[in-house]
């Protein structure tokens, strides 16, 4: 199993390398110089689009859709959704912190630290797998877990639904948003509509959509290093991640201390299959400049450190400071544009 997976991975990386080498030859950036952003031709943008699918801006939402999003935000920020009336989704997913919370570990409702670092949810709608282990594949499935889990909202859906039904304000908001009744489905639909509305384009998306002036030459250099070094083999697609589970520590053991924590066993925790040892969902790199500390265990305090660790443990490369900084610049172009 693991051999087959590694083989497929190797073939896949080789194909990507071949593609990216061709892309570079055509662009004429063979290490000697780096191109000025205004010189990037549309043809080379087409080549980048072979690796990434951009997010397009969404305009002309209907009034009903806007009301659903607003209702979703109200629910997301309402502490009364939790059993102890103290915790809302926004307690840990804070707008100003890129919808993470900037802490190593957030506190659960009983004051205990969570096992995993809190990730950003801004682009979760584009993740094929959710959570560090990739334990869920839809926001609905995951929301059911969050509402009912005893360490979080600790609610019963019926109980929550009945509570909202007796609240005149909510009755009005649900009606205005076009929902016939307050139910598990309409509550979830509104929260998920809000989450989806957060996934707005970045400068990198506008670049991929054809506006070559969006990225500086340093950012394009970082993008090229990201592709040619092989980061792209795992951080790919619309979210530059979110669609694969991969071992953390491909080239060397990231958890050499054998009494490492249970959480470090990765997807093995769910399947108990030895092949899944240390497998984690490849996280999205959108918005990543705002969501430190990094990794499931918050073991990298800065983005530079996280990039250096990825080079070393995932690719077996001792990275130059220049490459680390250019990739960091590229990642800055993934910040959402208001």
Least Å from the CB of residue 42 to ligand HEC: 26
Q: Binding of ligand HEC at residue 122 (CB under 6 A)?
A: no
Residues 42-101 that bind ligand HEC (CB under 6 A): 87, 89, 91-93
Least Å from the CB of residue 39 to ligand HEC: 25
Taken in order 10, 12, 13, 18, is the CA torsion positive or negative?
Answer: positive
- Pair 248, 63: CB distance under 8 Å: no
- Pair 148, 155: CB distance under 8 Å: yes
Q: Which of 34, 97, 103, 114 binds ligand HEC (CB under 6 A)?
A: 114
Q: Which of 20, 44, 197, 233 binds ligand HEC (CB under 6 A)?
A: 233
Tell me the C-alpha distance between 248 and 299, whole Å.
12
Q: Binding of ligand HEC at residue 236 (CB under 6 A)?
A: no
Total residues contacting ligand HEC by CB under 6 A comes to 49
For 130, list phi and psi in degrees, rounded to 5. Answer: -110, 155
Q: Which of 68, 155, 235, 290 binds ligand HEC (CB under 6 A)?
A: 235
Least Å from the CB of residue 336 to ligand HEC: 15
Residues 184-213 that bind ligand HEC (CB under 6 A): 191
Q: Binding of ligand HEC at residue 126 (CB under 6 A)?
A: no
Q: Binding of ligand HEC at residue 330 (CB under 6 A)?
A: no
Closest CA to 324 of 203, 248, 231: 231
Least Å from the CB of residue 253 to ligand HEC: 13
Q: Binding of ligand HEC at residue 328 (CB under 6 A)?
A: no
Tell me the C-alpha distance between 316 and 250, whole Å.
8
Tell me the C-alpha distance between 220 and 330, whole Å.
7
Least Å from the CB of residue 207 to ligand HEC: 18
Burial track 303-316 (b if 16+ CB lie within 10 A, e otherwise)? bebbbbbbbbbbbe
- Pair 226, 330: CB distance under 8 Å: yes
Helix%, strand%, coil% for the chain, nearest 5: 50, 5, 45
Q: Which of 27, 229, 243, 326 binds ligand HEC (CB under 6 A)?
A: 229
- Residue 34, SS3? coil
Q: Binding of ligand HEC at residue 223 (CB under 6 A)?
A: no
Residues 265-294 that bind ligand HEC (CB under 6 A): 280, 282-283, 285, 288, 291, 294
Show Cβ contacts of residue 24 under 8 Å, excluding neighbours closer than 6 positions: 30, 224, 228
Tell me the C-alpha distance between 276 and 78, whole Å.
37
> Among residues 67 and 93, whose Cβ is nearest to ligand HEC?
93
> Among residues 143 and 173, whose Cβ is nearest to ligand HEC?
143
Tell me the C-alpha distance between 13 and 227, whole Å.
10
Indicate the DSSP class of residue 90.
H
Whether the ω angle into residue 293 lies within 30 degrees of 0, i.e. cis, is yes
Q: Binding of ligand HEC at residue 119 (CB under 6 A)?
A: yes
Least Å from the CB of residue 88 to ligand HEC: 7
Q: Binding of ligand HEC at residue 27 (CB under 6 A)?
A: no
Q: Which of 52, 132, 174, 267 binds ligand HEC (CB under 6 A)?
A: 132
Interface residues with ligand HEC (CB under 6 A) are 87, 89, 91-93, 106, 108, 114, 116, 118-119, 121, 124, 127, 130-132, 139, 142-143, 146, 152-153, 191, 229-231, 233-235, 246, 248, 250, 280, 282-283, 285, 288, 291, 294-296, 306-307, 310-311, 314-315, 327
């Amino acid at each position: 199993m693991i051999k087959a997976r590694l083989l497929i991975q190797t073939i896949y990386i080789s194909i990507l390398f071949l593609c990216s080498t061709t892309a570079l030859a055509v662009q004429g950036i063979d290490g000697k110089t780096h191109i000025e952003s205004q010189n990037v031709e549309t043809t080379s943008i087409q080549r980048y689009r072979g690796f990434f699918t951009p997010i397009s801006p969404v305009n002309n939402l209907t009034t009903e859709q806007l009301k659903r999003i607003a209702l979703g935000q109200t629910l997301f920020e309402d502490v009364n959704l939790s059993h102890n009336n103290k915790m809302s989704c926004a307690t840990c997913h804070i707008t100003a912190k890129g919808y993470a919370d900037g802490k190593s570990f957030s506190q659960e409702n009983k004051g205990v630290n969570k096992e995993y670092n809190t990730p950003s949810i801004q682009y979760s709608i584009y993740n094929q797998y959710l959570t560090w282990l990739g334990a869920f594949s839809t926001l609905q499935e995951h929301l059911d877990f969050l509402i009912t889990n005893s360490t979080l909202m600790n609610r019963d859906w019926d109980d929550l639904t009945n509570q909202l039904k007796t609240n005149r304000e909510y009755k009005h908001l649900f009606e205005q948003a076009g929902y016939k009744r307050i139910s598990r489905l309409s509550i979830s639909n509104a929260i998920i509509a809000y989450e989806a509305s957060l996934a707005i384009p970045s400068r990198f998306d506008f670049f991929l959509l054809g506006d070559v002036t969006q990225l500086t030459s340093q950012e394009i250099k970082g993008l090229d290093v990201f592709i040619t070094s092989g980061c792209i083999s795992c951080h790919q697609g619309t979210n530059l991640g979110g669609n694969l589970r991969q071992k953390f520590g491909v080239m060397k053991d990231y958890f050499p201390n054998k009494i490492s924590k249970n959480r470090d066993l990765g997807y093995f925790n769910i399947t108990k299959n030895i092949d899944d040892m240390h497998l984690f969902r490849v996280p999205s790199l959108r918005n990543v400049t705002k969501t430190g500390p990094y990794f499931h265990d918050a073991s990298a305090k800065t983005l530079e450190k996280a990039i250096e660790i990825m080079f070393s443990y995932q690719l077996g490369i001792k990275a130059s400071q220049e490459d680390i900084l250019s990739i960091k610049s590229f990642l800055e172009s993934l910040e959402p544009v208001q």
